[in-house]
Amino acid sequence: MPKTTACEPLSFTEAARGVIAMARLAGERHWVPATSGNFSVRIDQAHAALTATGADKARLTEADVIEAEISGAKHPRASAEAPLHLMRYAVDPAIGAIAHIHSLPATILSRAHERAGFFRLEGWELLKAFSGIRTHEVALDIPIVPNDQDTDRLAALVEERLREAGPVPGYLISGHGLYTWGASAKDAIRHMEAFDFLLTAELQQERAR
């Protein structure tokens, strides 16, 4: 999954529509219980649209989306997890949208495999749903990082682990959930759906052993 060129700039309203589409889908799939989760879409190289703190993702409206500086002062309505989005945008200009969900398989497997530091996805046909992957004959080691309430520190650790891991479509936070991204909100939605299927399949396979 090589990096591509920087994303085309969007208006705030266009970006907010992408945020709302991701959030509402996640709400329908029960991936963001109790107002959890966060979603964002890059506006340009300096700004991103993010879900505001405390917003009900299943019923998100444009009023629940904020415009934040990627490398500037913290927005007063930004959630605690905003740094995990903004640092990803700062590091990789090809990222156009980021989704953070608390799906059950992602949360369970992130704890079960925390000691290993990664979770391997290998041999599944649906791996081809991730951008840049053309065959099921691939192994993806999805990084797992320990949870930390200091999200600035956690964001820095995530970027360190992602540099070590090489190209991957997401990562897990132990006992917390999944972050995934794409060049657009449409790509991020596809990646959310692919991760949910793959991690559900892996969890059921582990339970059957």
- Collect all residues with Cβ–Cβ distance below 8 Å to 147 and sequence separation of at least 6: 154, 173, 174, 175, 176
Calpha distance 10→8 (Å, rounded)? 7
At 155-188, the pLDDT tens digits run 999 999 999 998 999 999 999 999 999 999 999 9
Is 5 a member of any domain?
A: no
Q: Does residue 1 have a pLDDT over 90?
A: no
The answer as to whether 54 is a domain residue is: yes
- Pair 51, 60: CB distance under 8 Å: yes
pLDDT per residue as tens digits for the range 136-149: 999 999 999 999 99
Render pLDDT for 110-121 as a digit per residue (tens, 0 to 9): 999 999 999 999
Across 45-96, the runs of DSSP E, i.e. the strands, are 47-51, 65-69
Interval 66-79 mean pLDDT: 94
CATH of the domain at 151: 3.40.225.10
Alpha carbon distance, N-terminus to C-terminus of the chain: 32
Residue 209 pLDDT grade (very low, low, confident, very high; cuts 50, 70, 90): confident
The range of the structural domain enclosing residue 193 comes to 12-208
Q: Is residue 197 part of a domain?
A: yes
Q: pLDDT tens-digit profile of 16-72? A: 999 999 999 999 999 999 989 999 999 999 999 999 999 889 899 999 999 999 998
The answer to whether residue 30 is domain-embedded is yes
pTM recorded for the entire structure? 0.95
**DSSP designation for 175:** T
Within 8 A by CB and 6+ apart from 199, the residues are 103, 105, 106, 109, 119, 178
Count of domains observed in the chain: 1
* 1 within a domain of the structure (yes/no): no
